[in-house]
Amino acid sequence: MGKFKRSVLLVTVLSLLVVATATAALAGEKVIVFHAGSLSAPMAEIEGLYEKANPDVDVQREAGGSAALARKITDLGGACDVFLSADYMVIEKLLRPAVADWNVLFASNAIVLMYGPKSKYAGEINKDNWTEVLMRTDVRWGHSEPDADPCGYRSLMVLQLAEEFYGDKDLYARAMEHPERAVRPKAIDLVAMVESGAMDYAFEYKSVAVQHGLNYLDLPDEINLKDPGFAEKYAAASVELAGKEPGQKMTVKGEPIVYGLVIPKDAPNMEGALKLVEFILAQDGGLKVFEEMGQDIVGPQTITPGEKVPAGVEALLVE
């Protein structure tokens, strides 16, 4: 066989191998996951662990504000196999009953005031004076968009609760009018701004501050939305948000921060979704990762007793 023919044959074989590899990759199973931005770090770890154990599976994640992602499913027909929300009530109010049959609670968090190495007055801010520091005209601070991200409306609730807790008259109104207040689509967007010094302080989930190695001020349990023992007190705060339909409004009251997950009814890969959720809710799987990254575990349990969940998921629930 001549050199030219051998070269042509070699190129042909290589081409077929490339095509075969590409075809195999395209044929591989994918599981589409929408999750809260505050879960980005643990979900990246969970994705790596799951794909290592299941090399034929490609977990495709999209992070964002929980409410915005829920509306992507309901309004834009976004294909989603597993949805993890930073507020289980997003699933209750925006997805059930039309899009989802059940709702499993699995983790909790707290709102903290995050700051970085370049933040003004970082050396003097504390639990007693943070509201005064935040209201200084040269301090740049922010939170995420309330209509898109639970961390956003929870940040506003913290300010409302702080007004009562500290007896700081008109704090909430003054905060909303502060000239240096900034609002960003997702809470995770605030991390880079604080790290760079573009923002001095930001309301954020404690787990996110821990994961990014940023400084943060722990707020009193009476206002940080962490402690179920203060549920009645938290309920005194409320924020009006966009509802299910354009032009509609819904009022969300303060309550302890609890994350929820669900598999939408029309999940493209129901079987793959179930297997991934079982891994996420396993004590030595996803739950271990969440704990290692600064989040406390809740349950896992359904929002109401007797809720119908898939058998594999039900076996992992705590009474």
What are the sequence ranges of the domains in the chain? 27-108+258-314, 111-241
- Per-residue pLDDT 10s for the chain (319 aa) are 555 455 444 445 445 444 433 333 444 899 999 999 889 999 999 999 999 999 999 999 999 989 999 999 998 888 999 999 999 999 999 999 899 999 999 999 999 999 999 999 999 999 999 999 999 999 999 999 999 888 999 999 999 999 999 999 999 999 999 999 999 988 788 999 999 999 999 999 999 898 889 999 999 999 999 988 899 999 999 999 887 667 778 899 999 999 999 999 999 999 999 999 999 999 999 999 999 988 889 889 998 877 889 999 999 998 7
Fold of 27-108+258-314: D-Maltodextrin-Binding Protein; domain 2 (3.40.190)
Instruction: Give which of 104, 197, 206 is closest to 155, Cα–Cα.
Output: 206
Total number of residues shown for the chain: 319
Does 27-108+258-314 match 111-241 in CATH topology?
yes
Residue 250: per-residue pLDDT:
87
Residue 307: per-residue pLDDT:
83
Quote the longest CA-to-CA distance of the chain: 92
Tell me the CB-side half-sphere exposure of residue 139, using CA atoms within 13 A.
21
> CATH number of the domain at 111-241, out of 3.90.870.10, 3.40.605.10, 3.40.190.10, 3.40.50.150?
3.40.190.10
d(CA 270, CA 313): 13
Residue 13: per-residue pLDDT:
42
Residue 2: per-residue pLDDT:
59
Residue 4: per-residue pLDDT:
47
Residue 246: per-residue pLDDT:
74
3-state secondary structure of 119: coil
Residue 1: per-residue pLDDT:
56
Return the percent helix, strand and coil in the chain, to nearest 5. 40, 20, 40
Residues facing residue 249 across a β-bridge: 242
d(CA 24, CA 278): 26
Instruction: Give which of 257, 54, 80, 51 is closest to 155, Cα–Cα.
Output: 257
